[in-house]
């Protein structure tokens, strides 16, 4: 598609900005496999170690309302009684629900048996390089590996390179999540949904 559009523009006689030459393709390099280690007992206990100061409110607040421009927010509340149907609407983009630190699945917004849940804490979480470094230095794997695959979590891996070339991470076999390299957010991955399964570095 890119080359077709470029060719079309190049053939326009009255176009003031002809396309520049296409750069050479950089060589690809394979850096081998990277071993990932899960850290922390569960996702919440791990992320609370690097959360920002929490904001308390009657109802859930948006990222903007707690002055959190990017990253993630951990929302928590205490239930006054049990219930059966937790429902939500208008979440942007994803929300994961835990009950007593046990993952309950993916939902949308926040009532319990049609009763509005209130008294929330919102805690901003930025997975910066310094935050990830702190996790890697202060945590060891603390989770039962037989249960890890069914629970969201934080995984760390390291690799070193001496010759920098173009490369990518193959996420086939992974679930759904967010990928960071040196504190830089490479984006969302979800290989089973596709179409993209590789994350270019």
For 143-181, the pLDDT digits (tens) are: 555 555 567 888 888 888 888 888 988 999 888 888 888
For residue 94, report the phi and psi dihedrals to the nearest 5 degrees: -130, 150
Q: What is the rounded average pLDDT of the residues 35-55?
A: 82
Residue 87 pairs in a beta bridge with 111
Q: What is the rounded average pLDDT of the residues 12-21?
A: 87
pLDDT at residue 145 in the model: 52
Instruction: Measure the CA–CA gap between 123 and 50, rounded to whole angstroms.
Output: 10
Distance of CA 104 to CAs 2, 66, 86, 95, 112, Å? 44, 26, 10, 11, 14
Question: What global pTM score does this model have?
Answer: 0.66
DSSP letter, residue 188: E
The pLDDT confidence band at residue 107, using thresholds 50, 70 and 90, is: very low
């Amino acid at each position: 598609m890119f080359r077709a559009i470029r060719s079309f523009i190049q053939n326009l006689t009255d176009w003031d900005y002809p396309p520049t030459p296409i750069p050479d393709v950089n060589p690809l390099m394979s850096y081998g496999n990277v071993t990932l280690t899960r850290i922390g007992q569960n996702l919440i206990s791990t992320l609370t170690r690097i959360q920002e100061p929490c904001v308390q409110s009657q109802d859930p607040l948006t990222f903007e309302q707690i002055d959190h421009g990017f990253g993630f927010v951990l929302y928590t509340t205490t239930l006054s009684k049990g219930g059966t149907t937790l429902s939500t609407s208008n979440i942007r983009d994803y929300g994961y629900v835990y009950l007593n630190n046990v993952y309950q699945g993916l939902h949308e917004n926040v009532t319990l048996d049609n009763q509005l849940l209130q008294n929330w804490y919102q805690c901003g979480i930025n997975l910066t390089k310094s935050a990830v470094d702190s996790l890697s230095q202060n945590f060891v794997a603390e989770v039962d590996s037989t249960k890890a695959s069914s629970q969201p979590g934080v995984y760390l891996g390291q690799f070193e390179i001496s010759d920098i070339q173009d490369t990518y991470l193959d996420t086939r076999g992974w679930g759904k999540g967010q990928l960071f390299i040196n504190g830089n957010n490479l984006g969302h991955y979800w290989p089973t949904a596709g179409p993209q399964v590789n994350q270019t570095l």
